[in-house]
Structure 1
Amino acid sequence: METMSPLMLGFIGSLAAGAMTAVGAIPVLFGSTPSRAMRDLSLGFAAGVMLAASFFSLIIPALDAAGAQFENGAAPAAIVCLAILLGMGGVAMMNTLLPHEHFRTGREGPAAASLRRVWLFVIAITIHNFPEGLAVGVGFGAHGLEGGLPLALGIGLQNAPEGLAVAVALLGEGYPKGRAWGIAAFTGLVEPVGGLLGAGVVALSEPLLPWGLAFAAGAMLFVISHEIIPETHRNRHQNKATLGLAVGLVIMLFLDVWLG
């Protein structure tokens, strides 16, 4: 794999991470669904992985990359801060402009009522998975196998409980087991698209490297704050969710130091 181009590494890495949504949803095919508390713990784990990845795999390397380009101490911090805000704003804009449906808060966005419910769910999960693929692609595009592998492993780990959560929620909406699994698996396929985009941008233009890294971090931070954490706290399982977040954070930190 070390002989592959950053673009190909970004695609394969994000594809593998996205495929973990299908792996995580497999239990629904056998009628085995975890309790609500266990699902909230798993989603908390996903949030912890994404939080650690945002800072240790994206924001800190973005500061290093910006620092190598500018001698002024304020410039690197300003670039990274602005790119984080742009990343958060980008996902917020997608959340506003694209019709989609959340499992608890219902339909949102323009023309939502005219679309079939299954596609509203698919669009919602696409909004949330795209930043993850983008982050993996940016990691490979910026630093090759060494920079992208911890991100791909971490995002893949957190995609498994997300895939299960999506499939279980679809079962609750009346979808048959096979279709619930298929939709959950399909939502992971957007990640290679983000991976190609992220790897391509930073591989083609070195000055864009700190912007790409921090933008991807901001996009993931929005998903953590806007979607995952509120979802884990709705059923009074915040203690389990926080435990999951702590475990996910330290595992991702360990992977990043060990593999990066």
Structure 2
Amino acid sequence: MVVAQVTAWFGSDPVVNGLIGGVIIAFFNLLGASLVFVWRDPSERAMDGALGFAAGVMLAASFTSLIIPGIETYSDGNPIPVLVGIALGALFLDRADVLVPHAHFLLTGRRRADAAHPSTDLPVDDERLSGVILFILAITLHNMPEGLAVGVGFGSGDIGTAIPLMLAIGIQNIPEGLAVSVAAINAGLDKRFYAAFAGVRSGLVEIPLAVLGAYAVQSVSALLPYAMGFAAGAMLFVISDEIVPETHTKGYERIATLGTIFGTIVMLYLDISLG
């Protein structure tokens, strides 16, 4: 029913659907970034749990919506193209991290306004602001495979698989968007609007990449299993190299782990109920 409704609304053109998917996941990033207006000072415990949830969603989506369909449906059971794609995706993120040094989810060393004046602006710290800029670049870089994954999903023509993948990536964009905004506030940016804008900006890269992914696999169908593997490998790299280490350094690893398990459950449910 969901697939039929989406087709009725937007048609069946994979590139158009890729564009719509990119807009939707960017909207989820906007939603997460805007949470700082109502959730002004999320605790490290809450952020670790939320980012753990995002990791669980990405982990399950990598396999159920990219790796397994790539092998079984688009490679006729031959795992080599998808495995090559996974290796290339991980290598791309690894090399990119050399150019944009690790700027983890900047919740360490957080500075709080005085409890009696929770809305008081903090002075801008140039060193921390530089770190935030690196952080936004890093998150933007990590948003790239997510946008690509959605585009590739719709480009495959299998809307039943693409929709849960889109929703999964959109859901996990919420804590990522919030993390960017919190990082900007911790650096002392004087308006929450600018902090939220920083979060939105890091997600906008997903829209053109979703279109590019859909167009590329439509134009050269042989690229599809490689592209699916590439997106999955990049997301797996982000999970292992960034999210897990960061959420296990401040004493809330149990919460982060439970968040990861819950995120995996949510993604599996979406995949089965909507796929």
What is the TM-score with the length of structure 1 in the denominator? 0.88
More divergent stretch after superposition (20-29 vs 174-183): 20-29
> What is the deviation of 1:91?
1.5
Could you tell me which residue of structure 2 aligns to residue 214 of structure 1?
229
Aligned CA-pair RMSD: 2.1
Q: Name structure 2 gaps, 5 residues minimum.
A: 1-5, 109-126
Match of 1:90 among 78, 92, 111: 92
**1:36-67 deviation digits (Å, cap 9, x = unpaired):** 10110000000000000000000000111354
For this pair of structures, how many residues does the alignment match? 246
**In structure 1, C-alpha distance between the alignment counterparts of 2:256 and 2:136, rounded to whole Å:** 25
The CA distance in 2 between the partners of 1:166 and 1:244, in whole Å, is 19
Q: Does 1:162 align with 2:176?
A: yes
1:45 is matched by which residue type in structure 2? F
* Counterpart-to-counterpart distance in 1, 2:74 and 2:158: 18
Q: How does 1:110-259 map to 2 (within 5 A)?
A: 119-176=133-190, 177-259=192-274
CA distance in 1 between counterparts of 2:135 and 2:23 reads: 20
The answer to whether structure 1 residue 13 and structure 2 residue 21 are counterparts is yes
What one-letter code is carried by the residue in structure 2 that aligns with 1:137? G
1: CA distance, partners of 2:201 / 2:258: 29
Take 1:152 and 1:104, find their aligned partners in 2: how far apart are those partners?
27
**1:65–1:209 CA contact under 8 A, matched in 2:** no
Q: Residue 160 of structure 2 aligns to a residue in which SS?
A: helix
**Equivalent pair of 1:21/1:184 in contact (CA under 8 Å):** yes
Greater helix fraction, Structure 1 or Structure 2: 1
Q: Secondary structure at the match of 1:188?
A: helix
The whole-number CA distance in structure 1 between the counterparts of 2:39 and 2:89 is 38
Q: Which amino acid aligns with 1:50?
A: M
Residue 153 of structure 1 aligns with an amino acid whose one-letter code is L
What is the alpha-carbon distance in structure 1 between the residues aligned to residue 73 and residue 178 of structure 2?
Answer: 36
1:121 Cα offset (Å): 3.1
Quick one: distance in 1 between partners of 2:86 and 2:152? 14
Post-superposition offset of 1:32: 2.6
Counterparts of 2:27 and 2:131 in 1: how far apart (Å)?
23
Could you tell me whether the CA contact under 8 Å between 1:66 and 1:79 is conserved in 2? Answer: no
Amino acid at match of 2:71: L
Check the 8 A contact 1:100/1:123 in 2, yes or no: no
Return the letter of the residue paired with 1:124: A
Q: Which consecutive segments of 4 or more residues in structure 1 shift more than 6 A?
A: none
Q: Assess if the C-alpha contact under 8 Å between 2:132 and 2:187 holds in 1.
A: no
CA contact (8 A) 1:99 1:123 kept: no
Residue identity opposite 2:219 in structure 1: L
CA contact (8 A) 2:75 2:225 kept: no
Whichever residue aligns with residue 236 of structure 1, its letter is G
Deviation at 1:258, TM superposition (A): 1.2
Greater shift, 193-202 or 54-63, is seen at 193-202
Which range moved further: 21-30 or 146-155? 21-30
Aligned equivalent of 1:110: none
- CA drift of 1:118 comes to 5.3
Distance in 2 separating the partners of 1:138 and 1:52: 17
Once the 2 structures are TM-superposed, how far is the Cα of residue 27 of structure 1 from its aligned partner? 2.8
Structure 1: segments with no counterpart, 5+ residues: 106-112
Distance apart, 1:212 and its partner CA: 1.1
Contact 2:48 2:256 survives alignment (8 Å): yes
- With over 3 angstroms needed to count, the CA separation of the structure-2 counterparts of 1:116 and 1:232, relative to structure 1, is closer
Distance across 2 between alignment mates of 1:63 and 1:82? 11
Alpha-carbon distance between aligned partners in 2 of 1:39 and 1:98, rounded to the nearest angstrom: 23
